[in-house]
Structure 1
Amino acid sequence: MTAPALRTYPSAPRRDLVEDLHGHLVADPFRDLEDASSEPTEAWSAAQDDLYAQYREQLHATGAFATDVLTDRLRSLLGAGFVSPPAWRGERRFFSRRSGDQEHAVVVVAEGGTERVLLDPIVLDPAGTTTLDSWQPSKEGHLVAYQVSSGGTEESVLHVLDVATGELVDGPIDRARYSPVAWLPGGDAFYYVRRLPPETLPEDETQYHRRVWLHRLGTPATEDVEVFGAGLDHTSYYGVSVSRDGRWLIVSASAGTAPRTDVWIADLAASPAEAPWFVEVAVGLDAQTGAWVARDGRLYVHTDLDAPRGRLAVTDPTEPGVEHWTTLLAQDPTAVLEDVAFIDGGGDDTTPTQLLASWRRHAVSEVSVHDPRTGERRPQTVTLPGLGSISGLATRPDGGPEVWFSYTDHTTPTSVQRYDARTGLTTQWAAPPGLVADLPDVRAQQIEVTSADGTTVRAFVVARTDALDADGRPLAPAPTILYGYGGFQISLDPAFSATTLAWVEAGGVYVVANLRGGGEEGEDWHRAGMRAHKQNVFEDFHAVGEHLVAQGWTTPDRLACWGGSNGGLLVGAALTQRPDLFAAVVCSAPLLDMVRYQRFGLGVTWTEEYGDADDPTELGWLLGYSPYHRVVDGTAYPATLFTVFEGDTRVDPLHARKLAAALQAATSSDRPVLVRRERGVGHGGRALSRTIGLIVEQLQFVAERTGLAGSAA
């Protein structure tokens, strides 16, 4: 693979702008690139498009990284497709599935031995730019509420479908982005979340001001009744659920992405559905809390209050306050409580006989069995297929002895497993709908690294087995991708990845770092990498990179880093703080100007994660690492590929524009700084073909810059 020389970059609109912000002199020379609609910005972006096209034209990818070969291989690796655990409604079950050749996952309804596709985004939009954001069957399973958005905007529009006929019976209801749907028994009404009309709001707040509403089918959304949310923080996100018997309504609220959740409960048997009488479960506490009323009529609370790794408490729903809670599952000293499920006799027999708990221990899942009344751990275990991760513990709403969950690991496509309490056995219930041909012989192992302040950080290393000795050590340094995220309590657990396997089978090493700021070790781990402590995340990442070099996995001229969204901020910090450590960077949909981030997209909802630039102290934190403000003229920066999406309403592409312009102006190396711009997609879901096209170009860029043997001419 031959790299074109790029020494001249398009001229960016630039001015000598320096602002005094709380005593900090802050330069912002590329401020004009914030306005995507301006003629100079569009001219610059078009020139960047031409530059990237020139790079692609001159790139002679051969072998495993030839475009057609890599495209076919990724399509093959993604050929397993996807299937979700079932959502049962009586004997009818609903699930998502994507076969290997489908552009989007579809929703399937099955009953007995027959099944049919209920919702297919391609049928809704053959162009493939419409995504299915969420769906929820009614309690009886005769209706499904679903939400779709177009062009990557994630601006969901809600509809209701009759399951038997496939006909639309309600909707559209707009402004339903990130809305749960909580059906009332009978399917005549549901609670949901919707923003206030934009004409009633300040122009810069139309993305916010959500409320919980009651909607009755067949009535206009303008007649929906607001039941909750007035007077709370305007950035609040809401959760809403109704118990199986329809008696209990539970609402949760969190201001932006703050790691605190307030919860209220209302008895719908004692108050009208249009005006529920809410009682506090956990309000005003520095904790995340989730609550539900189970089939046995008790209120269960999953919380990190006084338990950063999580605990399960129980109380009577008529006495829901913290003072009435009894801990059922105590905090584990080294594992994070993820989910629980109760097993009972089914039907009218609602007395629990088993309690299953799923845990994440250093990012690897396990499931334990407990006495449902005392929480005492029982000797039996739920066997998992390997050292991987599970998601969800799904039961029938009508109870019974079975629990379903998804399982995956670094070399195993996602399947659905079923645990049967009658036998104690775990078996595969649904295999991926497709097959993956010729999976490479690779080995995944977990390593431990010491960060700058002495903290132990873990990472998963995936490499070809024939590249390792008997002890799992590398036989020789190899081109390596270091991937990370480190924020918002998101855990990077073992998972099947076509990107990883395509890279590794060609001779590379792929590393996933479990950094502070994530959720791998609980809320304390998260808070050790947020706000004033954000630099810890970057130090962890650098430590993993240095360890890979020191232990012979790779060398700085063969090491690339890769991240998106908050992970784009991570690699933006890496390339500006440690340009000597990396040869290449893939920076996707990134946050990079941390002085002005909260003015755009959903930025204001993230101030609890990063800090508020309008606060003098917190501005100091942000300036300490803001990648855009750490660019230094004359520095030999790594080759960098920014990938941005014009429909992105979460992270504005202006971040990538501004840092790309700054790097192009400052770098002293001839390593390219490029922007790949894509229209018609956004921050979230996308069609399969677009996903493959993006991965192909990202992998080719990294392979060319790190000299992966599998890509050599």
Structure 2
Amino acid sequence: MRFQILAASLLAATAIPASAQDMTAPDYPETRQGDVVDTVFGEEVADPYRWLEEDVRNSEEVAAWVERQNAVTDAYLEALPARDWFTNRIGELYDFERFSVPVERGGRYFYTGNSGLQNQSPLYVRDSLDAEPRLLIDPNEWADDGATALAGWVPSPDGSKLLYSVQDGGSDWRILRVMDVATGEQIGGEIRWAKFTGLSWVGDDGFLYSRFPEPEEGEDFQALNMNQAVYYHALGTEQAADKLVFATPDHPERNHVAQTTSDDRWALITSSTGTDSRYEVNLVDLDAGWDARVLVPGFEDSWSLIDSVGSRLFFTTNNQAPLYRVVSIDMDNPQAGWTEVIAEREQPIAGAALVGGHLVLEYLEDASSAAYVYSLDGEMVREMEFAGLGSAGGFTGDPDSPEMFYSFSSFNRPATIYRYDVATGDSVVFAEPELTFDPEDFVVEQRFYESKDGTRVPMFIMRRADIVASGEAVPTLLYGYGGFDVSLTPGFSTSRMAWVEAGGAFALANIRGGGEYGKAWHDAGRRANKQNVFDDFIAAGEFLIAEGVTPEDGLAIQGGSNGGLLVGAVANQRPDLFAAGNAAVGVMDMLRFDQWTAGRYWVDDYGYPDREEDWRILRAYSPLHNIQPDTDYPALLVTTADTDDRVVPGHSFKYTAALQAEDLGERPQIIRIETRAGHGSGKPTDKAIAEASDIAAFLAYWTGLEPGE
């Protein structure tokens, strides 16, 4: 095979471009090494940077370390020659008017809009479809630094009130508030300690939400999240009076999220134990009180409510269908059991809605969206038409109205919002951005390559049309994730567009561990199969070189969260293959990830660090524990944030300290630590532009990408 023919050349260390030799590794700040050694399953594991796990707010030593690291990193990044270019161009690309998919309630239309460079997107309402938009909430007024965001929001069924959540500094914690839509006045007080919650109205005067017990002082951002429960809040009452609707104190590890049907007849409480889509579902008949009865027992399969029509509930499920099917149950005759409405297809279902007496299903066809309209009896009515390879989403509407809204985007097209009539199939543009570039100047293609074990893996590649025509190999940014059943589909990114405008290529590999091909694709990249994820990503890099997309010294890699783990693992396994990398908010200590906040949920994908078989698998690829001393490494920019309470920043702190303690060649391994930011959501635009520009300039420097050349 071609990969074998090229194996010898690919094993050679990637050369440092001549233009980059004047910005080699800086003098790193000294990091104290402690004497912590754990003996686990008969093996001694040193953990000299255990002290860096402490919350930066509670440790002067960690705060001082962060300050020293940022000082070195800031000085380094400021000297990068393309930094100003990327800052200016990414800022220009951000500066276009954009909107979310509207939600209609009571004849009013609610949506967010951003004029371009606003740090947070305000929420608007139209009192009718043709009415002028009225500003309802402007989160830019909430904090001087723009780091307090409007997170979730749901109008009441009659459109008279708005339930919304506030996110401060990027944290996963949410503050819930209610607003009178007509006056803009807040109704009642605030709800605290909500997290990983749905927002579901019960009528127009109360709602269901999920929260955890209040953490002990100083433990807000690190303590394990246990004992989540569902509460009902009646408007006009204090949080202390909220009614406990559902909890499992004998099983504190279980999560519970509530959802109500559009007709306000039913409430479903979906319980989970981790990140796997294995649920137990309880049903509440809201006409009969708060008693919950088990609808789906056992934590075996995925069950996701679409909506209801009278006594008939519709779900998507992977029960007896790894790629999902649609089923229904009639609660007037539940003993009759489940009825299949739409059978499993060869492509996985990615989303579903019940609109105007029809089912609208989104499928993933080789990681790109396709959507179809069905009758409630499962007969196909039509396929929806989209503008090429891309991602459709946000399908919203009412079971009693044919009006539906959705968005469509691709790598070279920001989201356009459409209004769709499910009865006729007519589609019109509701909101379309004005662009500072021509999408036709860029080519988006899908290619397939073979991984180490022969598995066929898809990859999207975007380049300038003139570069495709010339056949030139150019510096390439390769992105991946590979976990938690997450599907990567084509979507617009200002930083990726700037990279491609500068003359580079962008590639996205749909590696195993994701959900692009259903349950089997996910299972093939988790637990004992996690090495497949790394093999797929490495093979993607080899393919890009072998096919002449990128030169051997021009490949950069990037990933966030589980994708940060991916970058760290493959940098250890194939440091010769990559010129540079960005490991963002990564899970880097695989032996202790379950010790903090949401980490305990991840055992579904990673395994249990306290079980020997799993521990040995984790030990074999943990980025922190497999750094190769005396080896030339790629240039690595680790990025994290002080308020990340999803993947706590201690992961990145310890990993960076370990990198800097070894002789890894001339390229730098530095860390950029954002303040008043978290795992990613809610980040203000100015911080997003600054971070993206720093990352792009760093990766460009070490791959030889020179904007304007």
TM superposition score category, shorter chain reference: over 0.9
Give the match for residue 588 of structure 1. Answer: 584
Aligned residue identity for 1:364: S
State the partner residue of 1:632. 628
Partner of 2:15: none
What displacement does 1:711 show? 6.5
CA deviation after TM superposition for structure 1 residue 429, in Å: 2.1
User: Alignment partner for residue 65 of structure 2, among 21, 40, 44?
Assistant: 44
Query: CA distance change for structure 1 residues 54 and 74 in 2, over 3 Å: closer, same or farther?
Result: closer
Residues 128 and 57 of structure 1: is their aligned pair in 2 closer, same or farther, counting only changes over 3 Å?
closer
* Cα distance between partner residues in 1 of 2:273 and 2:536: 28
The yes-or-no answer on 1:24 pairing with 2:26 is no
Matches of 1:174 and 1:530 in 2, distance apart? 35
In terms of mean alpha carbon deviation, does 354-363 or 50-59 score higher? 50-59
Shift of residue 438, structure 1, vs aligned partner: 5.0
Please give the alpha-carbon distance, in whole angstroms, between the structure 2 residues aligned to 1:66 and 1:43: 27
The aligned residue for residue 303 of structure 1 is 317
TM-score, length of structure 1 as denominator length = 0.92
Contact residue 573 and residue 627 of structure 1 kept, 8 A: yes
| Structure 1: tracts of 5 or more residues without a match | 345-351
1:711–1:255: structure 2 CA closer, same or farther, 3 Å change rule? farther
Q: Is the 8 A contact 1:382 1:425 kept in 2?
A: no
Paired residue secondary structure (1:125): coil
- Matching residue's letter, 1:235: E
The equivalent of 2:100 in structure 1 is: 84
Aligned counterpart for 2:370 among listed residues 366, 369, 387: 366
Residues 572 and 132 (structure 1), Cα distance of their counterparts in 2 relative to 1, 3 Å cut: same
Match of 2:694, as an amino acid? Answer: E
Q: Which residue of 2 aligns with 1:104?
A: 120
The one-letter code of the counterpart of 1:427 is: V
Q: Kindly provide the amino acid, as one letter, of the partner of residue 704 in structure 1.
A: Y
Query: Residue 705 of structure 1 aligns to which amino acid in structure 2?
Result: W
Counterpart AA for 2:352: V
Q: How many matched pairs?
A: 684
Aligned residue for 2:187, secondary structure, equals strand
Pairing 1:346-425 to 2, within 5 Å after superposition: 352=357, 354-373=358-377, 375-378=378-381, 380-396=382-398, 399-425=400-426
1:294 paired with 2:308, answer: yes
Tell me the distance in 2 between the aligned counterparts of 1:246 and 1:301.
Answer: 17
Q: Relative to structure 2, which stretch is displaced further, 419-428 or 577-586?
A: 419-428
Point out the more displaced range, 30-39 or 522-531: 30-39
**SS of aligned partner of 1:526:** helix
The one-letter code of the counterpart of 1:376 is E
The Cα of 1:72 is off from its aligned counterpart by 2.6
1:579-613 Cα shifts (integer Å, max 9, x gaps):
01101011111110100111123211211121111
CA contact (8 A) 1:181 1:192 kept: yes
Q: Distance in 2 between matches of 1:202 and 1:509?
A: 43
Q: Do 2:28 and 2:660's aligned partners in 1 also have CA atoms closer than 8 Å?
A: yes
Q: Deviations over 1:612-664 (max 9, x none)?
A: 11111111111111011101210111110011111111111111121112112
In 2, Cα distance between the equivalents of 1:416 and 1:57? 38
Within-5 A mapping of 1:195-274: 195-198=212-215, 207-231=225-249, 233-270=251-288, 272=289
Counterpart CA distance in 2 for 1:440 and 1:402 is 31
Show the 5 A alignment for 1:529-678. Answer: 529-678=525-674
Verify the 8 A CA contact 2:306 2:353 in the aligned structure 1: no
| Residue aligned with 2:248, SS | coil
Match of 2:615, SS state, is helix
Matches within 5 A, 1:123-202: 123-185=141-203, 187-198=204-215
Moved more, 569-578 or 602-611: 602-611
CA drift of 1:377 comes to 2.5
Q: CA offset at residue 547 of structure 1?
A: 0.6
Gap change, CA 1:108 and 1:422, over 3 Å in 2: same
Residue 683 of structure 2, aligned match among 683, 686, 698: 686
Q: Which deviates more from structure 2 when the two are superposed, residues 196-205 or residues 478-487?
A: 196-205
Per the TM alignment, residue 390 of structure 1 is displaced from its structure 2 partner at its CA by 0.6
In 1: Cα distance, 2:642 partner to 2:106 partner: 43
User: What amino acid does structure 2 have at the position aligned with 1:371?
Assistant: S
- Which structure 2 segments of 5+ residues have no match? 1-18
Structure-2 change in CA distance of 1:306 and 1:502 (3 Å): same
Question: In the aligned structure 1, how far is the partner of 2:205 from the partner of 2:566?
Answer: 47
Superposed, 1:67-78 pairs within 5 Å as: 67=84, 69-78=85-94
Does residue 1:328 correspond to 2:341, yes or no? yes
Going from structure 1 to structure 2, the CA distance change for 1:20 and 1:300 (only over 3 Å counts) comes to: same
Structure 1 distance, partners of 2:159, 2:247, is: 29
Partners of 1:412 and 1:235 in 2: CA distance: 42
Partner deviation per Cα, 1:129-169 (whole Å, 9 max, x = no partner): 20111111111111111110212223211111000000011
In structure 2, what is the equivalent of residue 340 of structure 1? 352
Q: Distance in 2 between matches of 1:233 and 1:105?
A: 39
| 1:648–1:681 contact (8 Å) kept in structure 2 | yes
* 1:313 has 2:327 as partner: yes
Deviations along 1:664-704, whole A, 9 cap, x unmatched? 22233110111111111111221111100000000000011
Offset at residue 427 of structure 1 (A): 2.4
Once residues 627 and 95 of structure 1 are traced to their aligned partners in structure 2, the CA distance between those partners, rounded to angstroms, is 41
Task: Tell me if 1:455 matches 2:467.
Answer: no
CA pair 56-327 structure 1, distance change in 2 beyond 3 A: same
Q: State how far apart, in whole Å, the 1-side matches of 2:280 and 2:380 are.
A: 30
Between 224-233 and 557-566, the greater mean CA deviation after superposition? 224-233
**Equivalent AA in structure 1 for residue 380 of structure 2:** R
Which residue of the partner structure matches residue 467 of structure 1? 467
Instruction: Please state how far the C-alpha of 1:498 moved relative to its aligned partner.
Output: 0.9
Tell me the alpha carbon deviations over residues 324-381 of structure 1, each in whole angstroms, 9 at most, x when there is no partner. 1111111112x1112233444xxxxxxx3x43221111111111232321x1334x32
Deviation at 1:80, TM superposition (A): 2.8
Q: Is the 8 A contact 2:107 2:159 kept in 1?
A: no
Distance 1:97 1:221, change over 3 A: same
Q: Give the alignment of 1:106-121 within 5 angstroms.
A: 106-112=122-128, 113-121=131-139
Shift of 1:386: 2.2
Deviations 1:263-314 (A, max 9, x none): 11121222x2xxx222222121421111254234311111111111111001
Following superposition, which runs of at least 4 residues in structure 1 exceed 6 angstroms of deviation?
A: 200-204
Q: Is the 8 A contact 1:94 1:108 kept in 2?
A: yes
Distance 2:624 2:255 in 1: 30
Return the offset for 1:46. Answer: 2.6
Please tell me whether residue 525 in structure 1 is matched to residue 521 in structure 2: yes
CA distance in 1, matches of 2:334, 2:674: 49
Residues 1:198 and 1:5: Cα distance change in structure 2 (over 3 Å): closer
**Among 19, 27, 32, the residue aligned to 1:8:** 27
Q: Distance in 1 between matches of 2:351 and 2:87?
A: 37
Of all paired residues, the percent bearing the same amino acid is: 36
Supply the distance in 2 between the matched residues of 1:15 and 1:494 (Cα, whole angstroms): 45
Task: Tell me the SS of whatever aligns to 2:597.
Answer: coil
Deviates more, 1:423-432 or 1:490-499: 423-432
Deviations 1:164-189 (Å, cap 9, x if unpaired)?
0000112211001222122122x222
**3-state DSSP class of the match of 1:477?**
coil
CA drift at 1:405: 0.9
Secondary structure at the counterpart of residue 509 of structure 2: strand
What's the CA shift for 1:20? Answer: 1.8
Secondary structure of 2:193's counterpart equals coil
- Counterpart of 2:9 in structure 1 is none
Q: Distance in 1 between matches of 2:354 and 2:307?
A: 12
More deviation, 284-293/221-230:
284-293
For residues 96 and 81 of structure 1, what CA distance do their matches in structure 2 show?
11
2:702 to 680, 695, 705: 705
The alpha-carbon distance between structure 1 residues 468 and 200, as it changes in their structure 2 partners (threshold 3 A), is closer
